[in-house]
Amino acid sequence: MPRKNPSPKQRSRIISANANSCCVCKRDGVGLHLHHIDGNNSNTVDENLAVLCVEDHDKHHRPNEYQKARHTELSADELISYKESWERFVRNAQSDDPTVIAVINVFGDEQHIHAAKILFQWPDEKIEYERVFHLLEGDFDYWTDEMISEVQSIGEKVKLTLINEPLPVEYCPCCGSGFSNTVKEAVVVKATDPDWDNHSIMSIYINPENPSLAISLGTPNKHLYSASLHLCQKRFLHFSSDYYDERVDIKKSSSTRSQATRIVAKEIENWEPAHVIIATGDHDNPEPISDLVLPRIWEQETSNKKMQRTQKTRR
């Protein structure tokens, strides 16, 4: 069958569905080609057309005449995967309440930041794509402007998050061993769910027989986060969550229960759930209580062994 070129309306629709970017490398501002995925240039349906960037980037003079696309070494299945994932991401990003998120990583130390990376991720931490910026390309103000522009070009309502500590120098993306810090699913949902302030729930179960408690966080339809706290070796309060472990020295200046309560209160403050449900008693049939009151079993005599500094391990 003879070749069938996409109509101008179809071309515009498909390129717009890809945020005016290549579905593989996500480059924009370059020439774009609609590639027939199955190799049949008469099969010009939307599902068979992948937006690819081209080797010749003379977009201004020849906006609709590109024939030689990049990334054609990829198989049809690989191109379909890139196309479907990217178009799904763009639809989400351009919705009224996007659940995808943009995350900025910085590299170096507090005295010298030498590179940054912006990544676009799904709630489950899958990275759709990322871009790297280095001091050779411009200063931090330039990076910031470029990253904000990148977000706005994909979806103006996409939330932008900054990892609050620089990654060590050995993780620099310029040396070939880059490492990305994504944002955990519960954090993404808290940031993007417009109903978080109305329907998020934190439940706290207090064990009446042992100095321990369990925390669960979620929405009516999804469990997002678990944590626990217990008295460890009569010397520490051991907090363990899906995201990190921390052992905190028990101080002599206040009761163990007061210190444990402060840790739980900090969790409530961090997550800001709409509802907090506290219960105790039979684990299979717990009884709700109105206040976070820990039993006296937490006040076991603490060890006289030399205290160790707080230990924290991220997951």
Q: Is residue 204 part of a domain?
A: yes
Q: Are residues 117 and 67 in the same domain?
A: no
CA 195 – CA 115 distance, rounded (Å): 36
Region of 46 (left: φ > 0; alpha: ψ -120 to 50; beta: rest) is alpha
Q: Is the pLDDT of residue 188 over 60?
A: yes
Q: What is the pLDDT of residue 61?
A: 42
- How high is the mean pLDDT of the chain? 87
Q: Is residue 298 part of a domain?
A: yes
Q: pLDDT digits over 244-253, tens only? A: 899 999 998 8
Q: Are residues 149 and 257 in the same domain?
A: no
Q: Is residue 2 part of a domain?
A: no
HEC string of 173-208 equals HHHCCCCCCCCCHHHHHHHHCCCHHHHCEEEEEECC
Q: Are residues 212 and 307 in the same domain?
A: yes
Residue that is last in its domain, among 93, 123, 145: 93
Q: Is the pLDDT of residue 308 over 50?
A: no
Structural domain containing residue 267: 195-314
Q: Is residue 251 part of a domain?
A: yes
Q: Are residues 206 and 307 in the same domain?
A: yes
Q: Are residues 308 and 199 in the same domain?
A: yes
Q: Which residue has the higher pLDDT, 62 or 243?
A: 243
Q: Is residue 3 part of a domain?
A: no
Q: What is the pLDDT of residue 313?
A: 63
Q: Are residues 147 and 223 in the same domain?
A: no
Residue that is last in its domain, among 168, 187, 206: 187
Q: Which residues touch 251 (CB under 8 Å, ≥6 apart)?
A: 259
Instruction: Tell me how many domains the chain contains.
Output: 3
Q: Are residues 142 and 182 in the same domain?
A: yes
Of 58-62, 284-288, 299-303, the least confident: 58-62
CATH number at residue 137: 3.30.420
Torsions phi, psi of 194, nearest 5? -65, -15
Q: Is residue 262 part of a domain?
A: yes
Q: pLDDT digits over 107-139, tens only? A: 887 778 888 899 999 999 999 999 988 888 888
With tokens 């006289």, the residue in question is: 304
Q: Are residues 222 and 309 in the same domain?
A: yes
Q: Specify the DSSP element, H or E, that contains 117.
A: strand 113-121
Region of 203 (left: φ > 0; alpha: ψ -120 to 50; beta: rest) is beta
pTM as predicted = 0.80
Q: Is residue 1 part of a domain?
A: no
Q: Specify the DSSP element, H or E, that contains 12.
A: helix 8-17
Q: Are residues 113 and 164 in the same domain?
A: yes
Q: pLDDT digits over 62-115, tens only? A: 555 556 677 778 899 999 999 999 999 999 999 999 999 999 988 887 778 888
